[in-house]
Structure 1
Amino acid sequence: MRITVTGSIATDHLTVFPGRFRDQLLPDRLDHVSLSFLADTLDVRRGGAAANIATGLARLGQRPVLVGAAGKDFAEYAAWLESAGVDTGSVRVSETLHTARFLCTTDADHRQIATFYAGAMAEARHISLAAVARRVGTPDLVVVAPNDSAAMLRHTAECRALGISFVADPSQQLAWLDREETRRLVVGARYLFTNAYEAAFLLERTGWTRDEVLTRVGAWITTHGADGAEIARQGEPAERVPALRTPDAVDPAGVGDALRSGFLAAVARNLPPGTALRLGCALATIVLESAGTQEYKVVPTDLLSRVLDAYGPGEAAALEPLLGELP
């Protein structure tokens, strides 16, 4: 199965302020705030939902095509993605703007002040999936991950027009979409992904009930953090998959993207959705134990052992052919 992943490409610039923001704020001067914080660490990480998902797919033996917009500073990031096995030939590189950036400072109380700069991501609306198909062939599945909202709507419409199956993953962009736009992103999706909060938000945005959503998608996967995930289909009981427990959690960033990667890599091998979701949960745990969204390594024997311990020999046997082909 050929998978194309559309969505955001970004870098995260993470700093730590050893003091407390609250000590710098004067309640009677909040209308004149002008502050700076001396940070003692800076961590620059590669990120963006589409890039994260594509990297996970590549680590599980796929050769995904990444579709999104990046900035004139993208060359080093592109080389990293290519070395991981991601096709970046359909990434639009802006001539004037920088790659999207998430700038965040965390204080001693774990409070955060953050800014997101969309930058080149705004140019993703100019990317045509038809042009991508001419370059690499028509994909079997297109992931519409969080991105410039106009780009998400365009890619979804193109999938319908071209008869391509697609994954709807609106995530945080739900806050910027109106009712009609949200419905257009969802209707006809082979898979819909949300977390539990986004699921409630999606129902509010669309005005549909849960059952009405399920009549419009092939399956709805909802993540529940430490409580795992579930997959629901019209007319069937929801299947709940527990998360893997770990005492070595480091950073939750990118965990949801990893779950999507694992799920889609298994689906690409025609494995049942429940088995696919178990692989997604296992990969998500590996990312949870790593600092950064793409810095983890997949060791096939370790991943298979985790599946065996968590879900039993049947699921491990189902996934062994896929994992056994990984280097």
Structure 2
Amino acid sequence: MARIVCAGHVNWDVTLSVDRLPAADGEATIADQAQSCGGSACNVATGVAALGDDPAILGSVGDDEHGHLAERSLDDSGVDCGPLVISEGDTAVKYLVVDPAGEVAVLGNEGANEAFAADDLDSETLGAADHLHLTSQDPDTAAALADRAHDQEISVSFDPGRRIDARDFAAPLARADLVFVNEREAATAIEEYFGPADDLTKTVALKHGAGGAEVLTPCGRYASHDGFPVEAVDTTGAGDAFAAGFLSVWLDGGDDPDYDRCLAVGNACGALAAAERGAKAELSWDRIEGLLAN
């Protein structure tokens, strides 16, 4: 069991299942709706908790109904909310509009999800961790957290998410030992932040959605996995579920992780998430091993 601190956004998600993603001046019909705690830090923390690891979460929510619901949901999922900051602002609310093919459009307000700072994570909680996982957040906060982790010889991973081309994540990307990116994010980041593909400065897990994933490492190791053929109904949080599964295996592997299994488990988690409505995937080792066996 690894102690993992997940840092980043904690939102309240409202998922709207629609018959189509409307174009400008268009209209869609809402077929179903649901609400849950969301945000990448929340999704990864609940994912690794479901896989038997011991997560804590650093993020911020408002002192409002959505914030209290989010904290309760995290606590019920086995996530340590001790580092969670309760801000005077409103909790960030994201409206996730999902079409029948599982494609997603996101509407949201910033709310209080960046009201936390690096020093809101106390030294005792950080020192007890095996790993720090950073998700999309203020770049300076992410870099400061990574520096603090490395000062205590704690490994760091970073998933910059869809804002990689809108924010300067050079500092936290440079400090991460492991980076998660999808194809679009990689097109922005691989050469600029990581160096040439044949001379990487860190381990990169490259996600291809339904096409699986691959890993490239600084020492030249390479692994790939084709993924699993599932019918996608909502891709929200699938990348976070992949990260949760990958990290759980990666951290269990010590100095010589089995990247083939990291990818297989990560892809299984992503597939399970994509086959369900909402960002919070119902992960379990029984379900993962069932996919792997088939």
TM-score, with length taken from structure 2: 0.85
Answer yes or no: is the 8 Å Cα contact 1:92–1:127 preserved in 2.
no
Partner of 2:246: 263
Answer yes or no: is the 8 Å Cα contact 2:101–2:233 preserved in 1.
no
Partner of 2:286: 301
Answer yes or no: is the 8 Å Cα contact 2:41–2:135 preserved in 1.
yes
Q: Which of residues 17, 31, 43 in structure 1 aligns to 2:34?
A: 43
Partner of 1:224: 208
SS across alignment from 2:252: coil
The aligned runs of 1:47-62 (5 Å cut-off) are: 47-62=38-53
Q: 1:146 to 1:42 in 2, by over 3 A?
A: same
The one-letter code matched in structure 2 to 1:8 is H
Answer yes or no: is the 8 Å Cα contact 1:20–1:108 preserved in 2.
no
The one-letter code matched in structure 2 to 1:255 is A
The one-letter code matched in structure 2 to 1:102 is K
Write the distance in 2 (CA, Å) between the matches of 1:119 and 1:234.
Answer: 38
Q: Which of residues 212, 217, 223 in structure 2 aligns to 1:233?
A: 217
Write the distance in 2 (CA, Å) between the matches of 1:45 and 1:201.
Answer: 31
Deviations 1:99-138, CA, capped at 9 Å, x for gaps: 22213557899998753211112212x242651x324743
Unmatched 5+ stretches in structure 2: none
SS across alignment from 1:244: coil
Answer yes or no: is the 8 Å Cα contact 2:48–2:55 preserved in 1.
yes
Asked whether 1:78 is paired with 2:71, we answer yes
Answer yes or no: is the 8 Å Cα contact 1:16–1:39 preserved in 2.
yes
SS across alignment from 1:278: helix
Answer yes or no: is the 8 Å Cα contact 1:228–1:243 preserved in 2.
yes
Write the distance in 1 (CA, Å) between the matches of 2:221 and 2:54.
Answer: 34
SS across alignment from 1:120: coil
The one-letter code matched in structure 1 to 2:229 is R
Q: 1:140 to 1:129 in 2, by over 3 A?
A: farther
SS across alignment from 1:64: strand
Write the distance in 2 (CA, Å) between the matches of 1:42 and 1:284.
Answer: 21
Write the distance in 2 (CA, Å) between the matches of 1:108 and 1:64.
Answer: 33
Q: Which of residues 176, 197, 201 in structure 2 aligns to 1:210?
A: 197
Q: 1:204 to 1:41 in 2, by over 3 A?
A: same
Unmatched 5+ stretches in structure 1: 26-35, 310-327
Percent identity, please: 23
SS across alignment from 2:114: helix
SS across alignment from 2:189: helix
TM superposition shift of 1:168: 1.9
TM superposition shift of 1:204: 5.6
Answer yes or no: is the 8 Å Cα contact 2:161–2:185 preserved in 1.
yes
Partner of 1:7: 8
TM superposition shift of 1:194: 0.5
Q: 1:196 to 1:136 in 2, by over 3 A?
A: closer
The one-letter code matched in structure 2 to 1:240 is S
Q: Which of residues 270, 289, 292 in structure 1 aligns to 2:278?
A: 292
TM superposition shift of 1:290: 0.9
Asked whether 1:117 is paired with 2:109, we answer yes
Higher relative contact order (CA 8 A, sep 6+): 2
TM-score, with length taken from structure 1: 0.77
Aligned CA RMSD, in angstroms, stands at 2.9
TM superposition shift of 1:159: 2.2
Q: Which of residues 60, 67, 82 in structure 2 aligns to 1:89?
A: 82
Higher strand proportion (structure 1 or 2)? 2
Write the distance in 1 (CA, Å) between the matches of 2:33 and 2:205.
Answer: 35
